[in-house]
């Protein structure tokens, strides 16, 4: 009886090992899906930077400029939920040649502008009120999650079409997906020209357009292994 059990156990292990090591015929392809859309909002990261040799005075000057900036943003009717303080810092910087310590104060405000027609006026006003560093300007779409889903579906369709093309001349068919890998990366376009305009003389001076918005291109990339029937 023991010999029979041992014999059956060895047979089961052998069969299992044989099944596990059996190679599955696969075809590996990459697929890409692209969706383009005009952005409907812009995220601006702007900083006030102040330097001096007195920490208290440097911080005071920085706070005064930020106060003016925040009041201007509110005056532009930007909702309170769409702007916030991102970072506040006061750092000593020792000058070894002059053997004295200077101080650098920074405060960064992040603003989401949902009315792109306000972009030029807002950027000009920020500079006038004390912003002296624009860290980045990022264009976004409020429908980004939906668009990413559409791009992924297009990528899968592209992968399936490629696989069908490859095996069509072999008399085989593409079966179920065996492995799917998402290789997508999200890219936010920067403004083609984002120089901040300044008033030349009078308030009625002609305004200049400083921004070419273009389109956001959302791309999805997948790698798929299909079973061959």
Task: Specify the CATH number for the domain of residue 117.
Answer: 3.30.70.2970
Position 208 in a domain: no
The CA–CA distances, whole Å, from 47 to 14, 21, 66, 118, 160 equal 69, 60, 9, 19, 48
Position 63 in a domain: yes
Q: Is the dihedral of CA 121, 124, 129, 132 positive or negative?
A: positive
Domain count of the fold of the chain: 2
- Whether residues 53 and 127 fall in one domain: yes
- Whether residues 134 and 169 fall in one domain: no
- Whether residues 29 and 57 fall in one domain: no
What is the predicted pLDDT for the residue at 113? 95
pTM of the full predicted structure?
0.67
Domain span at 46: 41-140
Q: What's the pLDDT tens digit per position in 91-132?
A: 999 888 888 899 999 999 999 999 998 998 999 999 999 999
- Whether residues 45 and 34 fall in one domain: no
- Sheet of strand 83-95: strand arrangement: 83-95, 100-113, 41-52, 133-140
Position 12 in a domain: no
* 204 has a pLDDT exceeding 70: no
């Amino acid at each position: 009886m023991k010999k029979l059990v041992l014999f059956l156990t060895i047979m089961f292990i052998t069969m299992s090992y044989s099944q596990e090591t059996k190679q599955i015929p696969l075809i590996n392809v990459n697929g890409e899906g692209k969706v383009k859309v005009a952005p409907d909002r812009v995220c601006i990261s702007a900083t006030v930077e102040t330097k001096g040799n007195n920490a208290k005075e440097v911080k005071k000057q920085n706070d005064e400029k930020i106060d003016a900036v925040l009041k201007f943003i509110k005056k532009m009717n930007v909702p309170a939920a769409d702007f916030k303080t991102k970072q506040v810092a006061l750092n000593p910087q020792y000058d070894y040649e002059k053997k004295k310590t200077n101080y650098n104060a920074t405060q960064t405000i992040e603003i989401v502008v949902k009315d792109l027609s306000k972009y030029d006026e807002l950027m000009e006003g920020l500079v006038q009120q004390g912003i002296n560093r624009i860290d980045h300007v990022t264009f976004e779409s409020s429908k980004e999650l939906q668009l990413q889903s559409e791009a992924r579906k297009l990528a899968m369709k592209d992968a399936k079409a490629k696989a069908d093309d490859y095996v069509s001349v072999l008399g085989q068919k593409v079966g179920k997906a065996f492995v799917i890998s998402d290789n997508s990366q999200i890219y936010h376009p920067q403004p083609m020209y984002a120089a901040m305009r300044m008033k030349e003389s009078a308030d009625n001076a002609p305004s200049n357009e400083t921004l070419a918005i273009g389109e956001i291109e959302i791309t999805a990339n997948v790698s798929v292994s299909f079973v061959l029937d």
